[in-house]
Structure 1
Amino acid sequence: MQLPLIGKIERPMPWLVGLLALGIVGSTAVTIVALQRPKDATDITSLTVPVTQEDLTVRISASGTVVAKRSVNLSPKTTGRLAELFVEQGDTVSAGEIVARMESDDIEAQMMQARAAVAQAQANLERLRNGTRSEAIAQAEAAVRQAQAQVAEAQSRLNLANERVERNQYLAEEGAVSSDRLDEVLNEARSARAGVAQAEARVTEARGRLQELRNGSRPEEIAEAEARVAEARGRLQAVEVQQEDTLIRAPFSGVITQRYADPGSFVTPTTSASATESASSTSVVALAEGLEVLARVPEVDISQIRPGQPVEVIADAYPDEAFQGTVRLVAPAAVRERDVTSFEVRVQLNEGQDKLLSGMNVDLNFLGDRLQNALVVPTVAIVTKEGKTGVLVPDSENQAVFKPVTVGPSIGDQIQVLEGLDEGDRVFLELPEDQKLQDILSDEIQ
């Protein structure tokens, strides 16, 4: 059995072999060139920004509230009923102006009595100082003469009584009169002697009075009268103080911000002048003077705040306006709330008092030092790796790598770079698609 003939292999043509060889060689060369050509660098223009050099003013931002420079709740010094209220909410008052009056009927009665006592004491003093009038001396002389006449009359009665005693004693010895009659005569004589003594005493008294009038008032009498006048005036002044205490006056010029009581209300003194809710329950009105801003600055920024420093104030109610102010006071003690330490800073408003109202919320920009030729980058470009601050910069293949830098203060949305970058260097704001921030920051710093 003969195997079927499948085919004969013939020798290929020489030109075909050459073409095939040339194709293989050419393909290999193209492949080698393609492998040796460098990879195109990623375009990072849209992912990075350049480091720029600018003249900047340091701004420290904080929040605050518009408050009154001075605020006080006014209340009476004594407990009582409010008789009159002379102001309304929003009224402007001057220092010392009466804003309300308490009931004072009992004090007015005491005032009248005290004034009458002063007038009486003063009249007595003037009488002693002016001396005795001639009419009074004449009356005293007449009193002396009258007393002397009474002495003479009493002496006559005594003489007559003595004569009767002698006669009746003789008759009694002869038995012509009874012992009872003799006792009666003796009693009449004793009574007459007493009458003489009394009359002589009246003469002495009248003469002394006459001598006092002729000599005038004694110094000690005038001094005593002066003391009585001073005492009466002191009582009057005490009542006047009570009367003044019924008047509620404004301690300083300002605006009535609240009205707490109406006439007829029973009000009591407050233990504090602070504008607290507890104080308002017994107060009459609230008074405020001027406006300023009370801000709280974080501890890390307080070293850059000083009195006299200019401030921009932006209120939520006027977001498109910046009111100018000046730092008036930096509190010497810190305030700690929820583990956050800050310092109170009071800012004087140089403008905007006609628009801003007490209680408004505001944002503040404290204008600090002027930085010349400062290198700055966007704040969002700053990253942290292993506790070190830095930025992401492109390497030779435009891949983001971490570079440590030293930064200064933040100014708005920019931050100053003190060391680590030069002007014109580029920093990443966005990463290439083939890189992740977590991977870059997890690599060890070389």
Structure 2
Amino acid sequence: MKRVQFGSMALIAIALVGCGKREEVVVEKPYTVTKGEVSVSIIESGTVDAIRSVEVKPQVTGRVAKLLVDEGDQVVEGQLLAVIDPKETRLSYDQTNAQLSGAEAGVARSTIEIEQRRKTAAVALAQAEARVTQLELEVKNTPALLNAEIASAEANLRSAVADRDRIKNSAQPTQVAATKATLQESEQNLRNAKFEYERQVELEKQGYSALKNVQNAQLNVQLAQTRLENARVAMNRQEAGLEADMKRANEAVAAAETTVRRAKTNLYTVASKRAELDSARAEVLRARAGLSDPALLEKSKEQGQASVAQLRSALEDSARKLSETSIKSPLTGIVSKKMLQIGEMASGLSSFSAGSTIFKIEDRTRMRVKLAVNEIDIARLSLGMPTEVTVDAIPGEKLTGKIAKMAPARQLNAAGAEVQVGTDAVVKYEVEIVLDKSNAPLRSGMSAKCRMNVASKKDVVFLPVEYVEKKDEEFYIYLPGPPAKKGEVAKPTKQKIKVGVTSTSRYEVLGGVKAGDQIVKPTFSGPPRKGFMQMGPDDGGDDAAAKDSKK
């Protein structure tokens, strides 16, 4: 209980002393106006990184077979860094090569087939044209021969009306011979068609004939078979007709009807020749149409040549990929990161895949610092402006650089919105500082502070900001007043001044005061301070500016 009373008495004593001290008049020493430098700087922090930095990715997919460098190693452009297992790429190359050989063989076969088809078509046309010529002669000469035969038959009819055996022997053999000849021709045509079909089948198996030729030959066999059956039917019909004729000849005038029948039979022979001529002419047209078959095969050959060209291109691409299983450095620099290990699968870079990064390499001979500058300060910066850079990881060393880039548009976050500081959206622009030279300890990712002097004036009259009063965009200072009576404080005189460059701590004075003049701080116009609050730091001693004036 006594200790509590003692503490209370001590506090009361201190308060009394403080109150008594406040009653003393403290005269502030005036500040002498001097000349010096007034500079305005923008200070921003950013991150150091290399200007040239690449991710080394393979062009082919495969397992990592070798890694020849590690993190921190120095590499030169073109140096072998890693090897991708070439087995899969080699297999793809061999498959494409085999496909190319097959396509080239197909083109060669088409060339041979086209030449053969041209020769066959030319021979077929020549044969058809020769057959037309022969039939035209036969059709031209047969009517005269038939007329002579009819005249002779009429003369023989008058001399041998009753000679029935002669009529039989003269009429039947000719008609039967013609029918037999047609039958034999149909049989021979069928044998020829079967032979041609078998030949086309064999050629198609060997790859020298198209399936279309086999189908045409098979159609010809069926056509010949039909004609043979028709010929046999005609033969049977003819034999039955001759028997009927002979029966009618026995009932009528055998000689006259036999002669007429023979004449009609001979006239039928002329019509048959004309039908054969029409058929031969149609065969000529078909033979001429067959001359265009090689043109169709030429198109097929062109298609094969296109496949050959495509496969050659694919083979060249496979050869390129095979050579790219050796991963080489695209630049001279240092390996900053190794992303894969031996045995891991690496995806090749393509239009469908971003590829797997094996190494990250950066050229540290040229470094930069990226800053995010707010919209108020960005307007005071310019390209090429000198910059002083300090790195937290390298204390005591100052680096220099210049502004190389200033973003034309505001900086957005990953969501596409403006950068947030607290609850307010701050408009910021990206600024890139390129260092004049790279220091050996400098690393990507280090924090750096950049100072950019946007305005600087030397050997000008300046005042510390605490000696200037600002009111309604006007600036004032206070000059020491005339000596006051004892126990009173001199009242300072307020005077308007004109200021220029303004920093956070100094004003450049353009008029209203000159170097060597003395001024005092503006009077405090806030609420009076009482009690222990009057013992704060604002009441004790001179400020830094006053200390400068003492010096």
- With the length of structure 2 as denominator, give the TM-score of the two structures: 0.47
Give the corresponding residue for 2:446: 360
Task: Give the conservation status (yes or no) of the 8 Å contact 1:291–1:353.
Answer: no
Task: Give the conservation status (yes or no) of the 8 Å contact 2:60–2:349.
Answer: no
Partner SS, residue 442 of structure 2:
coil
* Partners of 1:326 and 1:64 in 2: CA distance: 14
- Superposition RMSD on alpha carbons, in Å? 5.2
Match of 2:514 among 422, 427, 431: 422
Give the corresponding residue for 1:304: 380
Task: Give the conservation status (yes or no) of the 8 Å contact 2:45–2:449.
Answer: yes
Q: 1:311 to 1:224 in 2, by over 3 A?
A: same
Q: Decide which structure has greater helix share.
A: 2
* Partners of 1:389 and 1:343 in 2: CA distance: 33
Partner SS, residue 301 of structure 1:
helix
Q: Which residue identity is paired with 1:367?
A: N
Q: Which residue identity is paired with 2:337?
A: Q
Match of 2:308 among 229, 232, 250: 229
Q: Do residues 350 (structure 1) and 436 (structure 2) align? A: yes
Give the corresponding residue for 1:112: 94
Q: 1:241 to 1:60 in 2, by over 3 A?
A: same
| Counterparts of residues 34-433 of structure 1 (less than 5 Å) | 47-54=29-36, 58-75=40-57, 81-93=63-75, 99-122=81-104, 194-195=190-191, 223-237=302-316, 239-240=318-319, 243=322, 253-266=332-345, 283-289=357-363, 290-335=366-411, 336-338=419-421, 339=424, 340-371=426-457, 374-382=460-468, 391-397=477-483, 399=491, 407-410=499-502, 414-418=506-510, 420-428=512-520
Q: 1:126 to 1:197 in 2, by over 3 A?
A: closer
Task: Give the conservation status (yes or no) of the 8 Å contact 1:401–1:440.
Answer: no
* Partners of 1:302 and 1:198 in 2: CA distance: 95
**What do residues 109-150 of structure 1 show as CA deviations (whole Å, max 9, x unaligned)?**
121121233345456767988x99xxx99xx9xxx9xxxxxx
* Partners of 1:191 and 1:412 in 2: CA distance: 121
**What do residues 181-229 of structure 1 show as CA deviations (whole Å, max 9, x unaligned)?**
xxxxxx99998775566568899999x99xx9xx9xx965764553232
Q: 1:51 to 1:270 in 2, by over 3 A?
A: farther
* Partners of 1:198 and 1:361 in 2: CA distance: 93
* Partners of 2:397 and 2:502 in 1: CA distance: 23
Q: 1:188 to 1:300 in 2, by over 3 A?
A: closer
Partner SS, residue 112 of structure 1:
helix
Q: Decide which structure has greater strand share.
A: 1
Q: Shift in Å at residue 346 of structure 1? A: 1.0
Q: Shift in Å at residue 349 of structure 1? A: 0.7
Q: Shift in Å at residue 373 of structure 1? A: 5.5
- With the length of structure 1 as denominator, give the TM-score of the two structures: 0.56
Q: Which residue identity is paired with 1:286?
A: K
* Partners of 2:438 and 2:33 in 1: CA distance: 38
Task: Give the conservation status (yes or no) of the 8 Å contact 1:402–1:440.
Answer: no
Give the corresponding residue for 1:181: none
* Partners of 1:246 and 1:230 in 2: CA distance: 25
Q: 1:235 to 1:287 in 2, by over 3 A?
A: same
* Partners of 2:314 and 2:60 in 1: CA distance: 19
Q: 1:121 to 1:310 in 2, by over 3 A?
A: same
* Partners of 1:353 and 1:346 in 2: CA distance: 18
Partner SS, residue 324 of structure 1:
strand
* Partners of 1:342 and 1:382 in 2: CA distance: 32
**What do residues 215-271 of structure 1 show as CA deviations (whole Å, max 9, x unaligned)?**
9xx965764553232132143245456657766565655432112221122456899
* Partners of 1:374 and 1:309 in 2: CA distance: 23
Percent of matched pairs sharing the same residue: 24
Partner SS, residue 333 of structure 1:
coil
